Amino acid sequence: MSTFIANLDSVTPPLTAQHKIVLWIGANAGGVGKTTLAVHIGYEMACRGFDTAILDLDSNGSMSLFCGLPRSSKPQNTMAAVFAENFNGAWPLITPSWGEPNGKLQICPGGGVMSKVVDDLSSRRRREYILSDRLSKYPLAHNLVILDCPATLGSLNDAALAAATHLLIPVQLTYKSIKGSDGLLEWYRAACRDLALEPAPKILGFVPNQFDSAEAAQRRILAQLPDKLAKIKINCYKQIRYSSEFNNASGKGLPLFLYRGSHDACSDFSVICDDLTNLIKGEDKRGI
């Protein structure tokens, strides 16, 4: 854990009770499990009866693959439509075949068309606030909106941060990933200041992801991480264990809950979803 993280001051004010949560899930590196986290949190929250939308801002197309959706190159069927200047409030949401367990889970796909969105944003006025403006003028009816963000901390992440109420940061238990998280926190602090975000979105916590208990280096980092984050008043969630079954499930376009519901890793998302449930209900029991 770097000196910057160890000395970072909190920039977020106390949370007030809210009933709609916009959750930014991102990292300063690829392959840390952002999309896996988004899909499984979204599905569990839908199982709990909360309507959930996942907005895919990434260009890699993983969200469509993980949810068993066809990839589309047509901007009008993706998040590119939401960023278009002529957007009229018709969110291109798709419900996976398994997306109505109790509440409803819907996806607004991203994919390769988001690269063109990045290019176009450079010449747009209020580019950092476009997504926030869309959600304000054309609000989604969902209790929870999850923003699955690209690994590059560029214009799309600025737009997502300006729209978010909370951040969730997955991190691999490697020194490279920890260093990347230090850069992410530096970006977060600077962006909140430069974009004059009042209130600034709250960091819900770090999520140690893809934890392999057989790796001694991962065990050492995991043993240190909660205390180091506690020093800067950031929550560290229980680790999400590594399992090849996550890959097998995503290959079938299913969350692990449906692919192998008896797998122990299915319980790893519960505490995060407990906190989101309390926030949606306005019952901030942990003071997060």
pLDDT digits (tens, 9 = 90+) for 165-213: 999 999 999 988 888 899 999 999 999 999 999 999 999 999 999 999 9
Query: Which whole number is the average pLDDT over 86-109?
Result: 97
pLDDT higher than threshold 50 for residue 12: no
Confidence of residue 14 (pLDDT cuts 50, 70, 90): very low
> How many whole angstroms separate alpha carbon 164 and alpha carbon 147?
8
pLDDT of residue 4: 36
In the 8-state DSSP scheme, what is residue 94?
Answer: B
- State yes or no: cis peptide before 70, omega within 30 of 0: no
> How many whole angstroms separate alpha carbon 30 and alpha carbon 34?
8
pLDDT higher than threshold 70 for residue 156: yes
pLDDT of residue 149: 96
> What's the mean per-residue pLDDT of the chain?
91
> How many whole angstroms separate alpha carbon 193 and alpha carbon 158?
12
Query: Which whole number is the average pLDDT over 70-83?
Result: 91
| Helices 130-137/155-163 angle, 10° precision | 40
Q: Domain ranges in the chain?
A: 3-7+18-277
pLDDT of residue 6: 44
Nearest Cα to 145, choosing from 153, 154, 137, 135?
A: 135
Query: Which whole number is the average pLDDT over 59-81?
Result: 92
pLDDT higher than threshold 70 for residue 9: no
| Helices 175-194/216-231 angle, 10° precision | 30
- Residue 145 pairs in a beta bridge with 22, 53
Nearest Cα to 208, choosing from 196, 218, 194?
A: 218
Query: Which whole number is the average pLDDT over 239-253?
Result: 97
Confidence of residue 31 (pLDDT cuts 50, 70, 90): confident
Nearest Cα to 150, choosing from 198, 187, 96, 202?
A: 187
> How many whole angstroms separate alpha carbon 50 and alpha carbon 185?
30
Token pair recorded at residue 178: 């920890």
Residue 76: Cβ-neighbour burial (10 angstroms; 0-12, 13-18, 19+):
exposed
pLDDT of residue 19: 64
* Lookup result for tokens 């590196």: 29
Fold of 3-7+18-277: Rossmann fold (3.40.50)
In the 8-state DSSP scheme, what is residue 166?
Answer: E
